[in-house]
Amino acid sequence: MEQSELQDKIFAYLEKMKGKKKLKEKDIFKAIMAETGEDKATVKTALREMINVGRVMYSYGGGASSVEIPSEEYLKEKGLL
Amino acid sequence: MSGKHKTPMLDELEKGPFPSFITEIKKARNSSAMPEMADDELGQLEKSYNSKRGYWKHGGIVGVLGYGSGVIGRYSSLPDEYPGVAHFHTYRINQPSGFFYTSKALKEICDIWDKYGSGLTNMHGSTGDLVLLGTTTENLETLFAEYSSRGWDLGGSGSAMRTPSCCVGQARCEWAMIDTMDICNTVTQHFQDELHRPAYPYKIKNKISGCACDCVAAIARADISVIGTWKGDIQINQAEVKKYADSGMDIQSDVIDWCPTECMSFDGSSITIDNSQCNRCMHCITRMTKALKPGKERGASILVGSKAPIVVGSLLSWVIVPFMKMESPYEEYIELLENMIEWWDDNAKPRERIGELIEVKGMRPFLEAIGVDPQPQQVYEPRKDPFFFWSESDFA
Amino acid sequence: MALPERQTDIGPPDYRQFLPPVIEKNYGKWSHHEILTPGTMVHYAESGDKLFTVRVASPRLLATDSIRELCNFAEEYCDGYLRFTTRNNVEFLVSDESKLEPLVAALKEKGHMIGGIGPRVSNVIHTQGWVHCHSACTDASGLVKAIMDDLHEYFTTKALPNKVRLAVACCVNMCGAVHVSDIAVVAVHRKVPVINDDAVKKACEIPTTIASCPTSAIRPNPKEKSVTINEEKCMYCGNCFTVCPPIEIHNPEQDGVAIVVGGKIGSLRTDPKFSKLAIPFFYNEPPRWPKVVAAIRNILETYAKNAKKHERVGEWIERIGWEDFFKQTGIEFTFQHIDDFTFMRDTLRTSAAFKY
Ligand code: SF4
Ligand code: SF4
Ligand code: SF4
Ligand code: SF4
């Protein structure tokens, strides 16, 4: 699968889960591996790239870290919007 | 600058011989490019001293691009009253092993911090990081560019490997059985990804002490605790024993009587040790270093599980590997670390520490997963009740 | 202005570049050390080289200008080399013996507190408090200042039977080493948290919040899409608040601090030990918490007077027995002292041999 397609799937999954469950990287790997049949390393690379460019981000709340879609405010402040 | 807030309560804490943190906060107003930060910190703190409550919100979501660790969001819950601390984020710099610095390096850190932060620091945070206290969201990327380009990376936070830390070890301590600073540095470098990108169920800490004195509190404050030790006979220099005696030390009452295993004796001129009974507690060696040196085979005990009381009570670390050689590049230790972490990462619920997971799952699955045999050194005593599990492999 | 290029995953700088030449040369080859004064010591290397250390107290919270001043001392007397200890003291590393006394004199002139080495009170491990943490129910720095102003002689001069390690934590998360300190202060809540249903509904995952409670005191409240707390089961740990901030645990009038004693980290003589409850509660009395300060002095001095040389606080108490500790210190024994949580079985007495 193309990297960009994989990343779109990751993004769609994050959108779907928004507000329902705080996702850890591991949860995302599991879901996307099941959906696409890709291996963990591939999904991880795709996700990490999205994090590096600010398409998704690490978040922290309730005493634990998670992965989320960034808010507009975050993107503005990083000069990405 | 002089402040805009009256702080009669806090001013009380400028009196007395111990160095005053209030004086420090006031001082930061003179050097920081944003003196209003330290000033409003003072104002808000004075309010806390009057009302007996804090005015900080739960950490918000801040960080530098690509990382999920190292910056902790802090916002005042009274931003209108104290705009200087509306944002007051923590920036954790990963400290060098052993907290050694040159003045040049520290001054460079200070100069950057005065430009983009409050001018306040913690030397150091509880985990070990050099903590910069109070900056704004918009300054974070700048700080990261300034510091990382000069060789200072961020430390850990959140559900990540936390910044490892160690005692001064062989840099200055004759009791260090292992090279704590090198181990700490090697582990830190090895786990950069796990430090900066919080992907674990919860935090995991690693601390390394060179001997049983445990100056870095590894046994109490690290999920994975490394404590230097030895095998073989304590090396006795009887001439030095005699010198201690001649200099007026009461060897019987200061050393022999405290030996927990009663394996030492002193006949008035020389010391005898039944090394088979010594539990390597370090008491005698710390009292008479010139006369007593640890045995020649050096290594470490690896203990696992300690944590503070949240949630179901504090734990001290448990002995897992009684003795392991610790020689650069520490492949055996790093492999063990990876195996332990992998088992925990695969099995733990969110916010469950490795010690708690072992309590829930039992020691056996943990030991089997990391390939360590059961050994009497791991327990104080065997179980008391006659209820125990058998698994298929026991019948093979 | 263009920013310098950021680098990622480089880790901390290599410590070797910060070591003074005498350490580089004698790394791993130290022979022994002597404590010269409560704040100075000398390490001898096998080669015969000597390294002098001068230790001064720091409030941990330091302004950049104070760090610069410390650096200036280091430049003048130590070729720019200095370090910090795990207990937040500053150590000047003097290679040139002739500079030792001048450095000590210069530090004293500037009012620095020199000490903390050997059988004494060292600096107090502590946490952020109202200065910087959302979870704090006391101010750690203020307590440390008040306690150390009172005990300063035990840092600078007076000797004790052994080291006494103090700590202060501003909530039961205990970012410091409170659970294993000789004498420590920990801030505690005493009231069941108050739930803001509306905010809980918006901000919290209900299952996670329920799971966060160690005593299973939290139940769902489907009507409000929130939770309720069984007051009889709650022991005010505040974990629900950490996971779900709209569950307000703070109660400024009823929050305060407890004192715990007898913890020990090293394995010397006896095994490492947890700290145990000595005094369950004091109200917060900023700015100087006089009752807490007096209680710590009482415990410290009772220990100093009665412990044998080399005994840590916990070893002394184990020798005399806790019943005698309460008698000697005059501390009242209350219901709160009897464990009814995870350590109950281990702590109830099963012997008829005890003291009055
Ligand atoms: S833990 Fe042991 S080796 Fe390390 S500094 Fe302390 S006494 Fe020295
Ligand atoms: S190290 Fe401890 S147990 Fe061993 S001989 Fe010395 S005092 Fe005794
Ligand atoms: S002990 Fe509690 S209040 Fe204090 S700094 Fe740690 S989490 Fe915050
Ligand atoms: S404070 Fe602790 S015991 Fe009480 S309800 Fe919250 S999590 Fe449960």
pLDDT digit string, tens, across residues C289-343:
999 999 999 999 999 999 999 999 999 999 999 999 999 999 999 999 999 888 8
Instruction: Let me know if residue B160 belongs to a domain.
Output: no
| Interface residue A24 vs chain B (CB under 8 A) | yes
pLDDT tens digits, one per residue of C197-232: 999 999 898 999 999 999 999 999 999 999 999 999
**pLDDT (tens digit per residue) in C2-55:** 889 999 999 999 999 999 999 999 999 999 999 999 999 999 999 999 999 999
For B211, the token pair is 């001997």
Residue C120 to residue B224: CA distance in whole angstroms: 29
Clarify whether residues C205 and C147 are in a common domain.
no
N- to C-terminal Cα distance for chain B?
78
What pLDDT, on a 0 to 100 scale, did the predictor assign at position C84?
A: 98
Q: How many domains does chain B have?
A: 3
Does residue B239 sit in the same domain as residue B107?
A: no
C6 falls within a domain? no
Q: Which residue of C has its CA nearest to A52?
A: C8
Mean pLDDT to the nearest integer, B188-211: 97
| pLDDT for position B107 | 98
- The answer to whether B289 contacts C32, with C-beta atoms less than 8 Å apart, is yes
Q: Give the residue on B whose Cα is nearest the Cα of C344.
A: B313
Query: For a pLDDT cut of 70, what percent of chain B falls above it?
Result: 99
C102-159 pLDDT per residue, tens: 999 999 999 999 999 999 999 999 999 999 999 999 999 999 999 999 999 999 999 9
- Tell me the CATH number at B237: 3.30.70.20
Q: How confident is the model at residue C1 (pLDDT cuts 50, 70, 90)?
A: low
Within-domain flag for C354: no
Retrieve residue C223's tokens.
């009507």
Do residues C273 and C184 both lie within one domain?
Answer: yes
Instruction: Supply the CATH number for residue C235's domain.
Output: 3.30.70.20
Residue C9 belongs to a domain? no
Q: Does B173 contact ligand 1 (Cβ within 6 A)?
A: yes
Q: Where are the beta strands (DSSP E) in chain B?
A: 71-72, 89-93, 100-102, 120-122, 130-135, 165-166, 206-209, 224-231, 235-236, 264-266, 271-273, 292-293, 297-304, 318-324
What pLDDT does A19 receive?
Answer: 82
Residue C322 lies in a domain: yes
ipTM of the complex: 0.96
B33 Cβ closer than 6 Å to some ligand 2 atom: no
C312 shares a domain with C212: no
Amino acid found at B293: K
3-state secondary structure chain C: CCCCCCCCCCCCCCHHHHCCHHHHHHCCCEEEEEEEECCEEEEEECCCCEEEEEEECCCCEEEHHHHHHHHHHHHHHHCCEEEECCCCCEEEEECCHHHHHHHHHHHHHCCCCECCCCCCECCCEECCHHHCCCCCCCCHHHHHHHHHHHHHHHHHCCCCCCCECEEEECCCCCCCCHHHCCEEEEEECCCCCEECHHHHHHHCCHHHHHHCCCCCCEEEECCCCEEEECCCCCCCCCHHHHHCCCEECCCCCCCEEEEEECCECCCCCCCCECCEEEEEEEECCCCCCHHHHHHHHHHHHHHHHHCCCCCCHHHHHHHHCHHHHHHHHCCCCCHHHCCCCCCHHHHCCCCCCCCC
Q: Are residues C72 and C138 in the same domain?
A: no
Look at residues B353, B345, B394 and name the one whose alpha carbon lies nearest to residue B369: B345
Domain boundary residue among B99, B118, B149?
B149
Whether B266 and B226 share a structural domain: no
pLDDT for residue A72: 85
Q: How far is the CA of B132 from the centre of ligand 3 (A)?
A: 16
* C97 Cα to the center of ligand 1, angstroms: 24
Indicate the helix (H) or strand (E) that contains B359.
Answer: helix B354-361
- Same domain flag for C39 and C77: yes
Burial class (CB in 10 A: 0-12, 13-18, 19+), A10: buried
Chain centroid to CA C25: 34
Asked if residue B334 is part of any domain, the answer here is yes
Mean pLDDT of C68-88: 97
B18, B115: one domain? yes
Confidence of residue A71 (pLDDT cuts 50, 70, 90): confident
The minimum CA-CA distance between C194 and chain B, rounded to whole Å, is: 16
Q: How confident is the model at residue B2 (pLDDT cuts 50, 70, 90)?
A: confident
CA distance C194 to B86: 26
User: What is residue B1's predicted lDDT score, i.e. its pLDDT?
Assistant: 59
Q: Is B293 in the pocket of ligand 2 (CB under 6 A)?
A: no
The CATH number of whichever domain residue C65 belongs to comes to 3.30.70.3340
Q: What is the pLDDT of residue A76?
A: 83
Q: Is the pLDDT of residue B225 over 80?
A: yes
| Whether residue B248 is found in the same domain as residue B389 | no
Residue C148 lies in a domain: yes
Q: Is residue B117 part of a domain?
A: yes
Please check whether residues B245 and B144 belong to one and the same domain.
no
Are C217 and C94 in the same domain?
no
Residues B51 and B135 in one domain: yes
Residues of C in contact with B263 (CB under 8 A): none
Chain B environment of C81 (Cβ under 8 Å): 100-103
Q: What is the pLDDT of residues C52-62, one digit of tens each?
A: 999 999 999 99
The arithmetic mean of pLDDT across residues B188-196, rounded, is 97
CA–CA separation, C32 and C46 (whole Å): 9
Domain that holds residue C217: 194-248
Instruction: Classify domain A3-77 at the CATH topology level.
Output: Arc Repressor Mutant, subunit A (1.10.10)
Mean pLDDT of chain B: 96
| pLDDT of A62 | 77
Tell me what pLDDT residue C257 has: 98
Contacts of A63 in chain B (CB under 8 A): 351
Q: What is the pLDDT of residues A12-50, one digit of tens each?
A: 999 999 888 889 999 999 999 999 999 999 999 999 999
Q: Do C229 and C98 share a structural domain? A: no
Residues with CB under 6 A from ligand 4: C 193, 212-213, 215, 217-218, 229, 234-240, 249
Domains: count for chain C = 3
Question: Whole-angstrom Cα distance, residue B331 to residue B387?
Answer: 38
What per-residue confidence (pLDDT) applies to C197?
96
Across the interface, whether the CB atoms of B61 and A63 are under 8 A apart is answered no
Do residue C228 and residue C269 come from a single domain?
no
Say which residue the tokens 């329902």 belong to: A20
How many percent of chain C have pLDDT more than 90? 94
- Sheet bearing B120-122, strands edge to edge: B71-72, B89-93, B130-135, B120-122, C61-63
Give the integer Cα–Cα distance in Å for C210 and B113. 41
0.90 exceeded by pTM: yes
Distance from CA of B159 to the nearest CA of A (A): 5
Distance from first CA to last CA of chain C, Å, rounded?
75
Q: pLDDT at residue A81 above 80?
A: no
Does residue C27 fall inside a structural domain? yes
Q: What is the widest separation between alpha-carbon atoms in chain A?
A: 36
Examine the domain organization and report whether B136 and B280 are in the same domain: no
Separation of alpha carbons B166 and B175, rounded Å = 14
Range of the domain at B242: 233-293
Q: What is the C-alpha to C-alpha distance for residues B173 and B179, in angstroms, rounded to an integer?
A: 10
Domain ranges of chain A: 3-77
Q: Tell whether B156 is covered by a domain.
A: no
Judge if C133 and C260 occupy the same domain.
yes
Residue C278 pLDDT > 70, yes or no?
Answer: yes
In chain A, which residues have their Cβ closer than 8 Å to the Cβ of B141?
78
Residues C228 and C280 in one domain: no
